[in-house]
Amino acid sequence: MIATETRTRFEDARRAMLDSQLRTSGVNEPFVLARMGVVPREDFVPEELRAAAYADRALALPGGGALPAPLFHGLLLTEARPVAEDRAIVVDGGSGYLPALLEPIVAAMEVVSADDAAAGRIASHDASLLVIDGAIEHLPEALSKRLPEGARIVTGLVERGVTRLAAGRKVGDIPGLVALAETGTPRLPAFDRKTGWSF
């Protein structure tokens, strides 16, 4: 009985997330609502955080990872526009939630950690889509070089301390990203620009 009540409570919270966080913010793509309506966010956080899984904020996870707010994932998937032919690279922010949302939609998917992605340690060489589950200061050359021409990129982007959703494509050697909606997404330190003294 308790298990049934708990499941019903999470299902209600999931429906409320769709109606009060996503739809009211302009996230109305049927495939986004369908995926986020069936994948249980509470399964991707520790037991002590399950009650907050559908809150309109990011959750810090043990080990330094994070589960971004639902709106970020809704906007990210909307902008990514994944299709059945896509071969995707997903940079996981530590929760595993974004890969679970995307996996049934694309033809193939490689999931990598932020550290491995920033260092260019990926197996894919023909990815058509790169999605990053967090905010980055820049896209390192080591990762950019692993992307084929025309690959789509969707990520959070840190600009002057503000995080925004950003999207673009790799054209030539330098991928271009255009900042879009402000999102308040957790930063991925592996993608910070290296700082040092200059004279």
Q: What is the pLDDT of residues 123-143, one digit of tens each?
A: 988 999 999 999 999 999 999
Phi, psi of 130 (to 5 degrees): -120, 120
Q: What is the pLDDT of residue 94?
A: 95
Instruction: Decide if 166 contacts 144 (C-beta within 8 A).
Output: no
Nearest to 18 by CA among 6, 33, 4: 33
Domains and CATH numbers, the chain: 2-191 (3.40.50.150)
Q: What is the pLDDT of residue 3?
A: 63
Q: What is the pLDDT of residues 22-60, one digit of tens each?
A: 999 999 999 999 999 999 999 999 999 999 999 999 999
Output the pTM of the full model. 0.92
Phi, psi of 111 (to 5 degrees): -105, 125
